[in-house]
Amino acid sequence: MHWLAAAAGASAGIAARPAKEGVAPRHYHPGPEFIYLLEGSLNLQEDGKHPHTLKQGETMFNPTKTVHVGNNPSTTAPAKVLVFLVVEKGQPPAFPVD
């Protein structure tokens, strides 16, 4: 994740999920997460819910501490995601979940 800005407890960054290797294992964020897909597609799944495929130009919102996974379903094209997180100062942006 390349963080673009951090001010007043908010952070924004761009992540690229390469083809085949683009997996974000189960995790949660200590604050709300807003996602905008810049390029490609991305499978996102909250615990206990059906997977959702986000396509270029679409958005998604994850409430605070929502456990989820994400992966790039393409074997050839990368996915680029603009992520806006609201977290308390000093908190890491994500926590892994076993």
Place of tokens 């615990």: 47
Structure tokens at 78: 């990368």
Question: What pLDDT does 55 receive?
Answer: 95
Question: What pLDDT does 2 receive?
Answer: 47
Q: Using CA atoms, how far apart are residues 86 and 48, in angstroms rounded to an integer?
A: 24
- Name the residue among 43, 49, 36 with its Cα closest to residue 22: 43
Q: What is the DSSP letter of 2?
A: E
Question: What pLDDT does 81 receive?
Answer: 84
Question: What pLDDT does 4 receive?
Answer: 47
Is 2.40.110.10 the CATH number for 2-81? no
pLDDT (tens digit per residue) in 38-57: 998 999 999 999 999 999 99
**Which sign does the torsion angle of CA 70, 13, 1, 8 carry?**
negative
Q: What is the mean pLDDT of the chain?
A: 83
How much of the chain is in helix, strand and coil states, percent to nearest 5?
0, 55, 45
Residue 62 has pLDDT above 90, yes or no: yes
pTM of structure: 0.78
**Spans of all domains in the chain:** 2-81
